[in-house]
Amino acid sequence: MKTESKEEWLNKLALSAITELYGDKAHGDLLVFQKTRKEFPGDITLVCFGLTRLSGKNPAQTAEEIGEQLLKLSSDVARYNVANGFLNIELTFRYWTNYIQSEASNVNIPDTGKSKVMIEYSSPNTNKPLHLGHIRNNLLGFSVSRIQEAAGHPTVKVNLVNDRGIHICKSMLAWKLSGKEETPENTGVKGDHLVGKYYVEFDKSLKAEAAPILAAIEAEDFSALDQDAQAKAKDFVQKIALAKDSAKQKELWDDVKMLVNNQTSLMKQAQQMLLKWEEGDADVIGLWRMMNGWVYAGFEETYAKLGVTFDRFYYESNTYVLGKDIVDQGLQSGVLYRKEDGSVWIDLTAEGLDHKLLLRSDGTSVYMTQDLGTAVLRHQELNCSTYVYVVGNEQDYHFKVLTHTLLKLGYDWAKGIFHLSYGMVDLPSGKMKSREGTVVDADDLIEEIITEAEKRSEELGKTEHLDLEEKTLLYRTLGLGALKYFILKVDPKKRMVFNPSESIDLNGNTGPFIQYTYARIRSLYRKSGEAIPTTFDAAVLEDEPLHRSLIRLIEQYRETVSLAADSYSPAIVANYAYELAREFNQFYHDFSILKESDKNAAAFRLYLAGKVGDTLKRSMYLLGIDMPERM
């Protein structure tokens, strides 16, 4: 059976046609195919404007000539129509029935031999549990990795754990100062949740200490600050008084808050703890290892619930030192410069950016230092052509700086860095804030959506035939399918609002709707038994538009995967799956399958339903979504 796609076959056929018409000067580079516009009949369109130099005629005349030649060359071309210089080609129903039985319609045929891609996602901080924003990150990264693999790219799934820095020290310090010596074991609290509790406690204590200082500054009393901070605070206050824009005033006041926070005794203790960590202080390192261990155990549970996996783990605690070495090399080469206070910077103004800090005056590293070290280490170990970072769009500037810094330091492979910048996730109630403890915990959300799936299923009365074990598995499959699909169907670049109630609906553009469609197809096969054969005589089948439409959609699977891989957008696959499921349900409504008296037609429709099911299952696999055999 043939394995070539419609485009490959038509490309050869069209090349033969124009060669016969216009001679050996014709070559494949001149052929441009595109989807036929909806207002015209046709399965594919040949753009003929670039072929006029061969024909010596206008685009419409050229298209007419080529269309006539295609009809002569192949009986699989049914008819054509011309719209200006666009040749809309319609294929015979026999072509489509042959296609659906061929290897070319097998969704599991991989396109191999492409360049290796690294996908970094999750990248959690070890000072708090995963939340709704992390869910979008993990689901995007995992799905993109599966799509890249389906498109033929060897893929490495990477998790960079942010396990060091001032934010980690905040949780550690709050736990130490509490004097309670709480552990996951003696509290029964999941490790990442316990550490996150102390991160919130630190922020509350910090605000309490900073509040009277901020109140004094509002009254123009700067005495609580040191001399250098007083000068900066006075400058900010003057700028606030002169600023006419309320947004600018808020931005400046946030700068005042940050300045004051750094003057508090609590923040100074956290900064001192970070210095001790970098110096290898045994007590600090011991506390760090203990609390990070709690968090890692908690993360593993959440990853297992979500069904996401990783090939490699990197830890910033292991890469920041390499980052410092890279900074030293940059200083020696003259690419970087040192200020009077000892801090190290890079000038990226020529790249349309700014001056960027790479090392603090006290010698401690910043995020960029760590990212430089991690990037260089990973290229040495993985040697990929593309490095995809799945990180929220608030870090757009950061990744521009990372790329340009690496390039200026002489790492040409940094041209392969791609920031998959995605929008934040809100709830109907608004934004989330980790430090204030107002986030939607990932574990809680997963259980909530599974519970909602159980409630909806029980209300519909569709699970009475299942035993308890089957029901439990079904509710988890539906709940996670609802969660994953609702998030992944949105273009990654867009900010989105996640509504748990909408996501679980069995109707409309939802995961459960597609899962139900698959389960319906599987039910057809179980009910058919041996009564309907899986082979049929295509030559005597009647051409029905819905049959043709379904086959055409199945044929678009590979193109969909390729487009989704090129754009790093699982939304393309998700909405393709919905369109296919919706079309099948219309087909199921309009045509009988098991009760069809014409056994040949019944066999064809059952076979076609099976192909739809295979394609839906494969599409949802790319989204990390399981499909239930029964509902």
Q: pLDDT tens digit string along 38-80? A: 899 999 999 999 999 899 999 999 999 999 999 999 999 999 9
Beta bridge partners of 34: 45
Q: Kindly report the average pLDDT of the chain as a whole number.
A: 91
What integer pLDDT is reported at residue 435 of this predicted model? 43
String of DSSP letters for 474-526: HHHHHHHHHHHHHHHTS-TTS-EE--HHHHT-SSSSSHHHHHHHHHHHHHHHH
Give yes or no for a contact between 64 and 51, defined as CB atoms under 8 angstroms apart: no
Q: What is the mean pLDDT of residues 179-206?
A: 96
pLDDT value at residue 613: 96
Dist CA 572 CA 594 (whole Å): 33
Rounded to the nearest 10 degrees, the angle between the axes of helix 93-100 and helix 545-555 is: 50
CB-CB contact of 317 with 163 (8 Å): yes
pLDDT tens for each residue of 580-621: 999 999 999 999 999 999 989 999 999 999 999 999 999 999
Q: What is the mean pLDDT of residues 418-432?
A: 79
Cα–Cα dist 258/246, whole Å = 18
> What confidence tier does 426 reach under pLDDT thresholds 50, 70, 90?
confident
What CATH number belongs to 442-622? 1.10.730.10
What pLDDT digit, counting tens, does each position of 305-321 carry?
Answer: 999 999 999 998 888 88
Q: Report the top-level CATH class of 6-91.
A: alpha beta
Start-end of H helices in 75-165: 93-100, 132-150
For the segment 130-148, the average pLDDT, to the nearest whole number, is 95
* Res. 110: pLDDT tops 70: no
DSSP codes of every residue in 153-214: --EEEEEEEB--SHHHHHHHHHHHHH-----HHHH---HHHHHHHHHHHHHHHHHHHHHHHH
Query: Domain segments of the chain: what residues?
Result: 6-91, 122-224+263-426, 442-622
* Predicted local distance difference test score (pLDDT) of residue 436: 44
Domain formed by 122-224+263-426, architecture = 3-Layer(aba) Sandwich (3.40)
Q: Is 602 left (phi over 0), alpha (psi -120 to 50) or beta?
A: alpha
pLDDT of residue 140: 98
Residue 443 has pLDDT above 90, yes or no: yes
Quote the pLDDT of residue 532: 60
pLDDT in tens, 338-374: 999 999 999 999 999 999 999 988 887 888 998 999 9
pLDDT in tens, 535-553: 788 888 888 889 999 999 9
122-224+263-426 with 442-622: one CATH topology? no
Structure tokens of 309?
A: 């996996």
Look at residue 359 and give its three-state secondary structure: strand
Q: Given a cut of 80, is residue 428 above it in pLDDT?
A: no
Q: Do the strands 344-347 and 355-359 form a parallel or antiparallel pair, or are they unpaired?
A: antiparallel
pLDDT classification of 2: cutoffs 50, 70, 90: low
